[in-house]
Structure 1
Amino acid sequence: MLTAAISFLLTAGGVAVAGLRARRRRLRSATRWFAVALLPAGLYLTGLFPLASTIGREFADWAAKLVFDPRVWTGLVLLGVSAALLFASRWPGRRAEVESSAERPAAAGAAPERPAVGQAPQASKAPKASGKPQAGKRDDGLGDFADIEEILRKRGI
């Protein structure tokens, strides 16, 4: 009975504040106050206040047992040991993976030499193994960018 009275008093007070806010033309604030004011009555009418009371009481009982019951402390120690073992079992596996990837030899060997960005293209146009000479393409794998390079050179970049 006391819970109902408190709930509806809180709702009435919130609606009154919402009315004052609406009178001052603060409609967004008034809407928020009205929405919050409806919460206590809604929680009471749906029966969630006794549920919250039960949850609060059970939490308080658990906290009291946490302080005074050695069985709870034993459970906490077991949880901590379990977490430590799980963490420790993953750590060497990750270290071994990192070390093995650092010791692997390079698959393709050394990277080919490429000229610096500002260097002019080399004048030698050596024929490929097929016997056909290249038509203005370099042998460094950047032949597709010859047009872009020419445009940048004309602009002085």
Structure 2
Amino acid sequence: MLSAAVSFALTAAGLGVAGLRAHRRRFLSATRWFAVALLPAGLYLTGLFPVARTIADEFGTWATELVFDPRVWTGIVLLGISVALLLTTRFVGRRGAVEEPQARPAAGRAPERPAVEPAQPRAAQSAPKKAAGRKQDDGLGDFADIEEILRKRGI
């Protein structure tokens, strides 16, 4: 019976605060107070106060065992180590210090070439072509050293 009186008193007090907030034209705050004020009466009418008491008793028992039982402390230490390891691997992985082995492509990386050749000035376009004895520039001048290595190996 006492829990009924306390819950309805809390509900009435909350409704009073909600009314004052609404009178001051703070309707959003008044609505929040109204919602919170309905909780004690709703908990009592649904019978959840005994459940809350059981939960509080179980939590108290757990807290008492936490202080005096070494097995619980061992579990807390293991949980702490687990969390520390997970967080460490997450931060180290983000920094790139530990890299996963990746499969290398068979032919290596593709050479980087510009998508469009740079425009030549008009004077260079009207100039005569290179001498007949030289090879014509095919845009692969940067790969001359690679071609030389391939020629030495007979490829």
**Closer/same/farther in 2, CA of residues 26 and 98 from structure 1, 3 Å limit:** closer
> 2:25: which partner in 1?
25
Name the structure 2 match of 1:153.
none
> Residue by residue, what CA displacement relative to the aligned partner does 1:18-72 show, whole Å, maximum 9, x if unpaired?
2223333333332222221111100111122221121111111111111112332
Percent identity for Structure 1 against Structure 2? 62
2:73 match: 73
Alpha-carbon deviation of 1:7?
0.7
Q: Is structure 2 residue 92 aligned with structure 1 residue 100?
A: no
With the length of structure 2 as denominator, give the TM-score of the two structures: 0.55
Equivalent residue number for residue 51 of structure 1: 51
With 2-11 and 17-26 compared, the bigger mean Cα shift is at 17-26
C-alpha spacing 1:109/1:5, structure 2 compared with 1 (3 Å): closer
TM-score, length of structure 1 as denominator length:
0.54
1:1-157 superposed matches below 5 A: 1-77=1-77, 83=82, 98=99, 100-101=101-102, 104=104, 107-114=107-114, 119-121=118-120
Give the aligned CA root-mean-square deviation in angstroms.
4.0
Q: Match for 1:50: what amino acid?
A: P
Moved more, 15-24 or 37-46: 15-24
